[in-house]
Structure 1
Amino acid sequence: MTICLANYETCRAVAFDSKLGYCYMAKYLGENCTTHLQTYHNPYTYNPVSETCFRLIETALSWDNADAYCKANGEYLATFATTEASEWLRAKIELDLYPSNSGWGGYSFIGGQKDLIEFAWKGLVTGVIPGNGQLNSDWYDNQPNDSGPGLCVGIALDGWHDISCSNARLFVCEYN
């Protein structure tokens, strides 16, 4: 087991078991985080490209509710600093969900929205999301197309898409 992260501000630690391929997230209490409270084993999956843990939530919510759900658990909607990290997650979604989960619907929310004041795509954690064809972009062809109500970023097997924020979708939380 490899300790990936220890955060003393939140009293959380993340470890990765390479044999099982799972992340373990532990919560602690008390001064200096010395009292063990709880350990989550599965369904966190470690992304070796981004060195973070992801959890696919198989409950469909709007983007705002998905964001609140992740935050309530000390996580955030998934973001990607590199194309490779996003591609890794797309492959994982294909293996774990598609086509076995009929509720998937082709897209899962990740942490990006269109900022209507600056009219730019922004990630919750990463800041400005690169445009199609730019370095570290994983937009599908002709995306974002900025048409209709597509003001949130969804990940599908073929890349990122701009999709409606109000439609209920599965989503991906990240912890690092």
Structure 2
Amino acid sequence: MCDLVAPKSPEMSGLDEEELMPSGWSPFDLGTQRSQSPRSFPAPWLRRLGFPLLLAFFVLSFILSIITLTQVFQNQRLYNSEQEAVQEKLNYLSAQLKGDQDLRDKGQLEASQFIEQLNKTLNLKINNQLEASKFTEQLNKTLSALCRPCPCQWKFYKDSCYYFSVAQASWETARKACEADGTNLAIISSSEEQNYLKLNLDSNRRPRWIGLSDKKKEGTWHWVDETALGQSFWNEGEPNNAGDEDCCELIPNGWNDAPCSKENYWICEKKASPCPML
């Protein structure tokens, strides 16, 4: 075989090799470039190491990936375990809170039921006491109707019975009339008793003899039971002893000294008879 040589164009046929070379190049440089160009490829020993190195790189990358994934899985497992522990703790606390709430609700319910039962018991006792009080009151009324602490035509006040006469007489005659019934002319020992007797004067407010006089010693007033006068209810300006006034009469404004011979209505007093107690 023969080598084929490309024909030169007419324009380049007349030029030599130096003219055809690039500017700054020489035939020596061209030969140098030609002689050195095969050395730009990797050395044979380097080509022999390329595949093992690449294989080692992939193996290391695979191992690192496995390690990384393993660590990720372990971290995920640890995270899940911690999450489960936290959730279990939350569930436990929730159950405990629910149990405490249920216990509180149960306690409140039992307390409410106890209070309700207690109120029912108290109301029952109160009703029983009211019934007993009503019964006692009615019984007392019945006994009061049956029991007469004072005789007929006598008025009962506290522990005493009072008789308001319908006739008139001197103080001495009135005293004897009371004694004939086993009583005395009224002895007033308190303002309550004074007010009660004043309120029971007749509609004409006429005076009535009471058991007070200074007949034994002028100016020294004694009751018919010989006790000295203590608390007094004399009308203003009394006693004035005008005209031998030695006996005391009860008038609407208090007490007044009057002549013992004057004829007045009178008031007798005696202790009331006790009624049976329940």
* Superposition TM-score, scaled by structure 1 size: 0.66
Supply the distance in 1 between the matched residues of 2:191 and 2:179 (Cα, whole angstroms).
Answer: 24
Letter in 2 for 1:45: K
Deviations, residues 84-137 of structure 1 (Å, cap 9, x unaligned): 2111110121xxx122xxxx7x3110001114436301111361124xxxxx32
Supply the distance in 2 between the matched residues of 1:129 and 1:115 (Cα, whole angstroms).
Answer: 13
Partner of 1:64: 172
Listed as ranges, the matches of 1:135-150 within 5 Å are: 136-150=231-245
**Alpha carbons 1:24, 1:44 under 8 Å: kept:** no
Supply the distance in 1 between the matched residues of 2:195 and 2:235 (Cα, whole angstroms).
Answer: 12
Query: What are structure 1's unaligned runs of at least 5 residues?
Result: 3-15, 26-39, 131-135
Q: Percent identity?
A: 22
Supply the distance in 1 between the matched residues of 2:148 and 2:222 (Cα, whole angstroms).
Answer: 27
SS at match of 1:60: coil
From the superposition, tell whether residues 90 and 139 of structure 1 become closer, same or farther in structure 2 (CA, over 3 Å). Answer: same
Supply the distance in 1 between the matched residues of 2:216 and 2:167 (Cα, whole angstroms).
Answer: 28
Supply the distance in 1 between the matched residues of 2:165 and 2:223 (Cα, whole angstroms).
Answer: 19
**Alpha carbons 1:23, 1:46 under 8 Å: kept:** no
Partner of 2:160: 52
**Alpha carbons 1:47, 1:89 under 8 Å: kept:** no
Deviations, residues 120-163 of structure 1 (Å, cap 9, x unaligned): 01111361124xxxxx3211111111221211010011111101
Supply the distance in 1 between the matched residues of 2:156 and 2:226 (Cα, whole angstroms).
Answer: 19
**Alpha carbons 1:23, 1:45 under 8 Å: kept:** no
Partner of 1:162: 257
Of structures 1 and 2, the one scoring higher in RCO (CA 8 A, sep 6+) is 1
Q: Alignment RMSD, CA only?
A: 2.4
Instruction: Decide which structure has greater helix share.
Output: 2
Letter in 2 for 1:76: N
Supply the distance in 1 between the matched residues of 2:183 and 2:212 (Cα, whole angstroms).
Answer: 14
Letter in 2 for 1:150: E
**Alpha carbons 1:81, 1:126 under 8 Å: kept:** no
Partner of 1:109: 209
Partner of 2:190: 82
Partner of 2:200: 92
Instruction: Decide which structure has greater strand share.
Output: 1
Query: What are structure 2's unaligned runs of at least 5 residues?
Result: 1-138, 272-278
Deviations, residues 14-41 of structure 1 (Å, cap 9, x unaligned): xx94x7xx9544xxxxxxxxxxxxxx32
Supply the distance in 2 between the matched residues of 1:127 and 1:85 (Cα, whole angstroms).
Answer: 17
Supply the distance in 2 between the matched residues of 1:77 and 1:68 (Cα, whole angstroms).
Answer: 9
Letter in 2 for 1:44: W
Listed as ranges, the matches of 1:116-155 within 5 Å are: 116-117=216-217, 119-125=219-225, 127-130=227-230, 136-155=231-250
Superposed structure 1 runs of 4+ greater than 6 Å apart: none
